[in-house]
Amino acid sequence: AWGPYGAVRAVLAVVLALAAAEALLRHCTRRFGGITGDVFGGLAETSATAALVVVSLG
């Protein structure tokens, strides 16, 4: 569905994916005292998963 509902769902997916990645980044920075390549990989996987979950639930 590419109508208005699809656009809202896509925006919601992006916003939630960014929020999940930001929360993980803050946690890792606080916990590890910095970030590494593994943290960046985890951020990518977390944001992709969050976006896919939001899109699939709609």
Task: Give whole-number Cα distances, 44 to 2, 7, 33, in Å.
Answer: 25, 22, 20
For residue 5, with 0-12 CB atoms within 10 Å meaning exposed, 13-18 middle and 19 or more buried, which class applies?
A: exposed
- pLDDT per position as a tens digit, 1-58: 578 888 888 999 999 999 999 999 999 999 999 999 999 999 999 999 999 998 888 6
* CB atoms near residue 51 (< 10 Å): 20
Question: Using alpha carbons only, what angle is made at residue 11 by residues 25 and 23, rounded to the nearest 5 degrees?
Answer: 15
What is the structure's pLDDT at 1? Answer: 58
Beta-carbon contacts of residue 20 (< 8 Å; ≥ 6 apart):
46, 47, 50
Q: For the chain, what are the domain ranges?
A: 4-57
